[in-house]
Each structure stands twice: as C-alpha cells, then as structure tokens.
Structure 1
C-alpha cells in the first residue's frame, strides 16, 4: 500500500554559529566570525586605578587603515608584543572588545546582527552600518608618543552606531 501523505520539506539548517559554543568552531568558522571592522586594532588604554577601558582612534602599527585589517595577521603576535589573540576562553571576558564584536556576542549567547557579513552576505554592510573604522582612524601608534595617545581618546569604538541598531540582537535559542 502506497502512503500518499506528503513528507514535510526539510527544515533549513541553522547557521553554524547558532546554538554552539565558540570552542566547537572549526578554524575556518572561527576566522569567518570576524566582521573586519578593525575596532580591535585600535589602541585601548586601561585606567590602572579603576580598570576602565578608554578607546582611542590610534591604530596599531600593523593596521592597514585602507583595508581595516592587520597588515601581517599571521605574524602579528611576533611583531606586536601586546597583541592579544582571541580564543574561546577569553572572547566573552575581554572588556576591551567592542560591543559589536561577533566573538563577544556569540560567547554571550547572542546572535549576529543584521549587518554582519555572515548574515547580510556582503562585506560592505559593516561599513554601511557604521561599524568599520574606515575613515575614522587617527595616527598609528608609532606616530604618537604615549603622552599624546590620551589626546586621541574617543567613545565611538565602544558604542553601537544608530545604523547598526536597526534590528535588536536576539538571544539565541
């Protein structure tokens, strides 16, 4: 006897980042989470008394300001001694990661925002949402003294731009 009942279509597979811990991601999945904004490549200052983080518009010496990317990503830790590598253990705890950082969001159980390239399918969406550092970087760290860096403290790297707030981030299920 033939079963005439239609089988329901397969549900679409959820994106790889939903419902998983960062430690479960492959190297390629991990790297694809970076939206290429460049905010983590800006110099940050920490108040020794309060622990408060102050963002600056001063770029790391390896920052390619035209591409908003590290000019020597593979060797960055050797060339910049205080360059901290993100990993699944520290991504959710680092206070200096911008609130828009995909590693931080996923570590906290949040979804990626609408402008993230993995969601939008377009690298330009990071610039359109005002997340990228393109056109906003001051000098590179080798071009200013430590005393001058404090003159470059800015708030924007620690904030979510209005254009990026179109769709509120939702908790993953």
Structure 2
C-alpha cells in the first residue's frame, strides 16, 4: 500500500534518496536569481537577474554538476540545511514540504510534465537577464516583487 503513496508524501526530506531529492526541484529558476538582503532588517529581495549559469529560457543550470566550481557562492540545498533557506519562495517544493504543505498542482511530479511549471506561469523563463550583464551598483534597480 505504501508504494502507492508518492514518496514525497510518505517520506521526510531526510529520508529521501538523492534522486528523489533532486526530483523535488520544479525547475522554476527562482533560487538562481540574484537576491539582495537588507543589512538592517534581514529582508531578502529578489531581482530579475539570473546566475550566469542559468539558461534564461529553460531555467536550468548549464553547469549543474560543476556549479560550485564555476560559481563558488552557489548554494546547495540539502535536507540538513533546508531550514537555513528562509529566502526560498513559497512555491519551492523543498520549502513547501519542509513546512508540511502539499505540492502545487503544476509541480512536475504531479503533472508528469517538466513544462507544467512554465505553463502555469510560475517559472522565471523568459523573464530574467543574466546578472553579469548588469553592473553590481545597478542591481537594486532590478528588485522585483512578482516572484513571491
């Protein structure tokens, strides 16, 4: 009977295999956006600036396996550190499951299609530009509010 219940409903995050963990990513690209943190309040602001390794159409990392070598500040989410990432958007499956909420209907694990995140308008595809095309002094001008 438990085999009929999807793994994300019957397992805690720390019980998932590496492939199960990876499959939770919906491919929205929000975690690959440049974020700015207010030093006084700790509030995190998303920008429309993407990591240089993000394909801005598909929202996938072009250097996923080697991302930390290419982008040393790239964050790797794990079941052990997921609670540290308060900045993850509400729609992120890692955050959703960590907070005990169900996956949204458009999540690829439910829809069966990796395109459902784009069709639902949740992804950053075609909505962002590479951060390395904008001087860092201008990043505040790229703060967005439609991500969350």
TM over 0.5: yes
Matched, 1:55 2:54: no
Equivalent position SS for 1:35: coil
Structure with the higher helix share, 1 or 2: 2
What TM-score do you get using the length of structure 1 for normalisation?
0.81
Equivalent position SS for 2:83: coil
Unaligned residue ranges in structure 2 (runs of 5+) = none
Matched, 1:146 2:146: no
**Structure with the larger RCO, 1 or 2 (CA within 8 Å, 6+ apart):** 2
List structure 1 segments (4+ residues) > 2 angstroms apart after TM superposition: none
Unaligned residue ranges in structure 1 (runs of 5+) = 1-9, 160-173
Aligned length: 148
1:11-62 CA-partner distances (Å, limit 9, x unpaired)? 8711110032111000110111000111111100011111000000001011
Taking structure 1 as reference, are residues 11 and 80 closer, same or farther at Cα in structure 2, changes over 3 Å only? closer
Shift of 1:145: 1.3
The residue aligned with 2:72 is 81
